[in-house]
Structure 1
Amino acid sequence: MNQPVKKRAYVFLFDGFSDWEIAYLTPEINKSKACELLYFSAQGQTVHSMGGMKVVPDIALEQMNTNEVDLLILPGGTAWEKGENNVLDQLVRLLFEQGKTIAAICAASAYLGQKGFLDRLQHTSNDLQYLKGVAPQYLGEKNYLNTLAVADQNIVTANGIAPIEFAREVFKKLNLYSDVETEQWYQLFKNGVWQE
């Protein structure tokens, strides 16, 4: 009997990535039997998070095969605002064109805005003025929603203060849990309430 093919979620890591912004979603994906979680950096090099964690990624960017990517997760960090992560441009464009899910939180959403991926999709970020300031080429103002997290087509965006809402939208995209289970998880971590 054939085993179902696992989905693959990839997290891009870089020096100064905002570790707390992915801290709710990565454990849930990692323990899932339906999804494999992989970390990568530009050269496969060890990176240090904003919180000082030293992380050794699984692979380098050049080792990635876009056909094996179901979800790309982009945590925030000031490197996006400084244009230091443009090494991802080709990968992100290919994944976007293939309809693969790209999930970006905080400053990583500004990167998507800078590259034009948010121009025709509903999205959010830290703030509209922040997004326009950090991403001068951004043309998606009419599609901006002042909310914590948004999923539209193959793009998930979130405000940097919303790692729990970000996780919830990612879980939905991966079909990680049923709608009821996802809401139970959300209520537990957001409000400290477990609902049967």
Structure 2
Amino acid sequence: MSTVYVYVLDTLADWELGYVTSELNSGRFFKKGAYPVSLKTVSYSKEPIKTMGGMTIMPDCLIDDVVVRGTTALLLPGANTWNDPKHGAIIEKASEFLSSGAMVCAICGATAALAHFGLLDKRPHTSNGPGFLEMVSPGYKGQSFYIDQPSVADNHLITAGSTGALLWAKQIIEHLGVFQSNTLESWYQYFSTGKPEHFFALMQTLPSGNG
């Protein structure tokens, strides 16, 4: 089993996580024999957090409870509260993930938190457009590694801008290896274009019992 930790904090951008968490939790398009994925919300305290959309989330565990293994992943969503010093502990944990070869996936404001701690200085990455990280993280030195794309996967680090949630989800799912490649491509094409032929192609890729 793979454990995917989702960091939750006040003003969390609900929509940025929707594609990836729904697929990993439901397993509805998983390939035959894919290992199950356990999703756990984690935060700096056990107090409920309120998302940007007004939803209340009770964290499943604390940062100290996170176990870093090669099969674990850490998802860091966007939020307007990343500059609060209390979130420094999860960025330190993210550094531990990367050093251990475990996956870290950051989107929107979370990329700024990584940049502030120097974790993007020597790794290919993206964010909310050229100049954004310099504006919000004065110590950022990773300009030569910045790639102006919606989402960028570099080994165990996957970063995305605020409009890159779908591609970010695709790259995370691909890294975890829980979809067949043709299932993932049809899934991505359907949700990015809305064309029904991609939906039917998606259904045809599924092992019996999933569709």
Using structure 2 for the length normalisation, give the TM-score.
0.85
Alignment of 1:40-51 (within 5 A): 40-51=42-53
Give runs of ≥4 in structure 1 deviating > 2 Å: 81-84
Q: Is residue 170 of structure 2 the alignment partner of residue 168 of structure 1? A: yes
The alpha-carbon deviation at position 72 of structure 1 amounts to 0.3
- How much does 1:123 deviate? 0.8
- Cα distance in 2, alignment partners of residues 67 and 143 from structure 1: 26
- Partners of 1:86 and 1:49 in 2: CA distance: 19
The change in CA–CA distance for 1:68 and 1:47 in structure 2 (over 3 A counts) is farther
Deviations 1:69-92 (A, max 9, x none): 611000001112454521213311
What is the aligned partner in structure 2 of residue 72 from structure 1? 74
Q: Which runs of 5+ in 2 are unaligned?
A: 28-34, 202-211
Taking only the aligned residue pairs, the percentage that are identical comes to 29
Match of 2:10 in 1: 15
Question: SS state of the match for residue 21, structure 2?
Answer: helix
Alignment of 1:31-110 (within 5 A): 31-32=26-27, 34-67=36-69, 70-110=72-112
Which residue is equivalent to 1:155? 157
Is 1:24 the equivalent of 2:24? Answer: no
Counterpart residue number, 1:3: none
2:146 to 144, 169, 172: 144
Query: Are residues 173 and 26 of structure 1, via their aligned partners in 2, closer, same or farther at CA, if it must alter by over 3 Å?
Result: same
In structure 2, distance between residues paired with 1:46 and 1:69: 27
Shift of 1:189: 1.2
**How many residues are paired up?**
191
Match of 1:179 in 2: 181
Output the CA distance in 2 between the equivalents of 1:94 and 1:39.
18
Deviates more, 1:158-167 or 1:63-72: 63-72
Give the C-alpha shift of residue 45 in structure 1: 1.9
RMSD between superposed Cα atoms in Å: 1.5
Q: Distance in 2 between matches of 1:69 and 1:31?
A: 19
Larger radius of gyration: 2
Taking a change above 3 Å as real, the CA distance of residues 86 and 69 of structure 1, as seen in their structure-2 partners, is: farther
Decide whether aligned partners of structure 1 residues 89 and 163 sit closer, same or farther in structure 2, where only a CA change above 3 A counts: closer
TM-score scaled by length of structure 1 = 0.91
Maintained 8 Å contact 1:21/1:160: yes
Q: CA deviation at 1:122?
A: 1.1
Write the distance in 2 (CA, Å) between the matches of 1:57 and 1:89: 17
CA shift, 1:43, in A, is 1.1
* Secondary structure of 1:78 counterpart: coil
Which structure 1 segments of 5+ residues have no match? 1-5
1:128-143 → structure 2 map (5 Å cutoff):
128-143=130-145
CA distance in 1, matches of 2:167, 2:16: 10
